[in-house]
């Protein structure tokens, strides 16, 4: 290495900056695993990129966009189910776990995607739909064929309570009874989701073996881990006790109910420990779809001995739903001290896009940057949702006939379904946002002309450019990757601010969550700093900012301010 290069390398390290290649190693010199430094990106394959113009996205489409993802700063993609499926729940009803749905391509296309991704240092995470299969899966077809079928006990079959009466009062989360009578054997089968998604019987060891083998099969094909779908619904009370009925009715018109006997049963943790052992044999990561009521519940998913999920998602974070510094402070502190590695998410394919949830209708672009400034600078792994980086909005159906997602059909008008957050990725300002030249399976919103990759790449003030800069900074800063989280000004109702501290290096993050300008001052004497100075790293301020004393900072409405602290 020539002297000049060596000198700048040493300089970078002394400021807590690490070269990106280091961040991609499986384990770094301090024992951090690759997934602790990675930025994950969720892809809904139907909607990302359509290579054959049939109106539905596919794997080759994803492959064609790997350079974009790399440029953005993505290290791992989580692809929601792309396995053969009747698509009743758009892939979450799997009929063959070891293949690719022809709509998305072939196994060869998957291998090409994996190899191209690996060339760019991008890992692939698949979605593991563990709780249920499709009713067209050969296991279920056999199971329903007769009471003595080899796979009968792979699902939950029970007699009704009486004529026309299901075995108990359990409700499907997608509406109405969770039991469907099958005339062939005159017994009911159980489904927490749609009737086309019968629940597997995880008390049967043969089920566990077959499902664990599925994960092995994909690990051998190069997959770096799984996002585990609906983990909290794996087990049901063996005595099938009725759930307690609560007052009122839900959006499907069913009585409200506490899912006491068919959700969050403790047995799930044994399965997760076993699944983790398999993952560890392959150096893989397990991410959980872990909807929890409080931090104690979330903690359990890490496992008592850190032997369950490495990355249970903190959905309580998504439920804050407004720009509230006190609420965020509380939730960040809770997950930061939970003992495991935090996982932050602000959007996904089941919830209204963050652009809409946090936006005030007037300053949504600035708020989108503000939210990026929050979850991409915290201690923990962020999981982005496609389109978040360009400010994609929800595009909900306006008429019941347009709805594709079955829950929108069942629950209309109160439940409009999830189509709105699953619309095609907006690549250009052209027809169908450049997603397809066919008819897209869901319509693109009119805002695609202003919010799309091509236009935003040309605009230095775009949401996309902000994401790119922020992610580049994050990847190169040891302080942002590993630094401790230290909250500041904890009573401030408008500005959320904190330090990230790694050894002696510090980065200050200040996020003005209000539509007014605010002055803030920081007392860093607790860090041994009497008159600290700042060196600006990134801001969304419209006026240029000077480096200097940190005594008082005037933040513009919704401003993101990131600075390195100098003694």
Q: Which residues are catalytic?
A: 229, 281
Residue spans of alpha helices (H) in 24-144: 34-37, 59-64, 66-72, 107-119, 138-143
Contact track, ligand NOJ, 197-236, x by CB under 6 A: --------------------------------xx------
Closest separation between CB of residue 196 and ligand NOJ, Å?
11
End-to-end CA distance of the chain: 31
Closest separation between CB of residue 127 and ligand NOJ, Å?
8
Residue 273 main-chain phi, psi, to 5 deg? -65, -40
User: Of 227 and 500, which CB lies nearer to ligand NOJ in the complex structure?
Assistant: 227
Closest separation between CB of residue 199 and ligand NOJ, Å?
11
Q: How far is CA 395 from CA 16, 434, 444, in A?
A: 42, 17, 7
Applying CB under 6 A, which of residues 237, 350, 465, 492 lies at the interface with ligand NOJ?
Answer: 350
Site for ligand NOJ in 263-292 (CB under 6 A): 289
Beta carbons of 323 and 354 less than 8 angstroms apart: no
User: Of 350 and 515, which CB lies nearer to ligand NOJ in the complex structure?
Assistant: 350
User: Of 134 and 540, which CB lies nearer to ligand NOJ in the complex structure?
Assistant: 134
Closest separation between CB of residue 350 and ligand NOJ, Å?
5
Helix (H, G, I), strand (E, B) or coil at 363: coil
Site for ligand NOJ in 508-567 (CB under 6 A): none
User: Of 89 and 208, which CB lies nearer to ligand NOJ in the complex structure?
Assistant: 89
User: Of 131 and 534, which CB lies nearer to ligand NOJ in the complex structure?
Assistant: 131
Contact track, ligand NOJ, 410-429, x by CB under 6 A: --------------------
Its sign, for the CA torsion 416, 417, 422, 424, is negative
264 Rama sector, left if φ>0, alpha if ψ -120 to 50, beta otherwise: left
Beta carbons of 442 and 467 less than 8 angstroms apart: no
Beta carbons of 175 and 215 less than 8 angstroms apart: no
Its sign, for the CA torsion 241, 246, 249, 252, is negative
Closest separation between CB of residue 349 and ligand NOJ, Å?
6
CA-to-CA distance for 36 and 366, rounded, in angstroms? 28
DSSP 8-state class, residue 171: B
- Residue 193 binds to ligand NOJ (criterion: CB under 6 A): yes
Site for ligand NOJ in 62-101 (CB under 6 A): 89, 92
Closest separation between CB of residue 417 and ligand NOJ, Å?
11
Closest separation between CB of residue 316 and ligand NOJ, Å?
17
- Percent helix / strand / coil, the chain, rounded to 5: 30, 20, 50
Contact track, ligand NOJ, 121-140, x by CB under 6 A: --------x-----------
User: Of 63 and 133, which CB lies nearer to ligand NOJ in the complex structure?
Assistant: 133
Residue spans of alpha helices (H) in 65-123: 66-72, 107-119
User: Of 420 and 434, which CB lies nearer to ligand NOJ in the complex structure?
Assistant: 420
CA-to-CA distance for 318 and 358, rounded, in angstroms? 10
- Name the residue with the smallest CB distance to ligand NOJ: 92
Residues making contact with ligand NOJ (CB under 6 A):
89, 92, 129, 193, 229-230, 289, 349-350
């Amino acid at each position: 290495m020539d002297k000049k290069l060596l000198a700048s390398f040493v300089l970078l390290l002394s400021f807590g900056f690490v070269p990106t290649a280091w961040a991609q190693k499986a384990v770094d010199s301090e024992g951090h695993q690759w997934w602790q430094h990675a930025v994950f990106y969720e892809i809904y394959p139907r909607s990302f990129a359509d290579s054959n113009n049939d109106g539905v996205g596919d794997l080759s489409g994803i492959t064609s966009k790997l350079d974009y993802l790399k440029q953005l700063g993505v290290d791992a993609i989580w692809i929601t189910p792309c396995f053969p499926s009747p698509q009743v729940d758009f892939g979450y009803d799997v009929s063959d776990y070891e293949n690719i749905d022809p709509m998305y391509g072939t196994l060869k296309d998957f291998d090409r995607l994996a190899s191209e991704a690996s060339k760019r240092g991008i890992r692939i995470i698949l979605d593991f739909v563990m709780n249920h299969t499709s009713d067209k899966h050969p296991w279920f077809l056999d199971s329903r064929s007769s009471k003595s079928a080899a796979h009968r006990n792979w699902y939950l079959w029970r007699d009704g309570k009486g004529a026309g009466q299901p075995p108990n009062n359990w409700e499907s989360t997608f509406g109405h009874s969770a039991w469907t009578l099958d005339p062939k054997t005159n017994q009911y089968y159980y489904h927490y989701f749609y009737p086309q998604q019968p629940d597997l019987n995880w008390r049967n060891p043969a089920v566990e073996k077959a499902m664990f083998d599925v994960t092995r099969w994909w690990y051998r094909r190069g997959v770096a881990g799984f996002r585990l779908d609906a983990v909290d619904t794996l087990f049901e009370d063996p005595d099938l006790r009725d759930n307690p009925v609560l007052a009122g009715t839900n959006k499907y018109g069913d009585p409200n109910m506490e899912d006491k006997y068919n959700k969050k049963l403790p047995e799930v943790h044994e399965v997760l420990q076993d699944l983790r052992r398999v993952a560890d044999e392959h150096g893989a990561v397990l991410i959980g779809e872990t909807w929890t009521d409080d931090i104690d519940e979330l903690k359990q998913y890490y496992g008592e001995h850190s032997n369950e999920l490495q990355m249970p998602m903190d959905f309580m974070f998504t439920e804050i739903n407004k720009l509230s510094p006190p609420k965020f402070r509380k939730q960040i502190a809770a997950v930061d001290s939970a003992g495991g590695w935090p996982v932050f998410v602000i959007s996904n394919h089941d919830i209204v896009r963050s652009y809409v949830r946090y936006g005030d209708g007037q300053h949504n672009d600035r708020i989108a940057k503000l939210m990026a400034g929050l979850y991409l600078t915290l201690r923990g792994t962020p999981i982005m949702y496609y389109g978040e980086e360009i400010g994609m909005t929800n595009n909900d159906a306006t008429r019941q006939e347009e709805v594709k997602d079955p829950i929108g059909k069942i629950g209309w008008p109160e439940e409009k379904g999830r189509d709105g957050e699953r619309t095609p990725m907006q690549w250009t300002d052209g027809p169908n946002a450049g997603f397809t030249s066919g008819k897209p399976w869901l319509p693109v919103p009119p805002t695609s002309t202003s919010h799309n990759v091509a236009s935003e790449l040309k605009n230095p003030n775009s949401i996309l450019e902000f994401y790119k800069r922020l992610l580049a900074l994050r990847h190169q800063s040891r302080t942002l990757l590993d630094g401790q989280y230290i909250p500041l000004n904890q009573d401030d109702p408008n500005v959320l601010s904190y330090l990230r501290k790694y050894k002696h290096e510090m980065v200050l993050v200040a996020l003005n969550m209000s539509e007014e300008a605010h002055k803030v001052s920081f007392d860093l004497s607790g860090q041994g700093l009497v008159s600290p100075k700042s060196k600006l790293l990134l801001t969304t301020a419209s006026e240029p900012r000077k480096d200097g004393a940190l005594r008082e900072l005037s933040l513009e409405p919704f401003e993101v301010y990131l600075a390195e602290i100098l003694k």
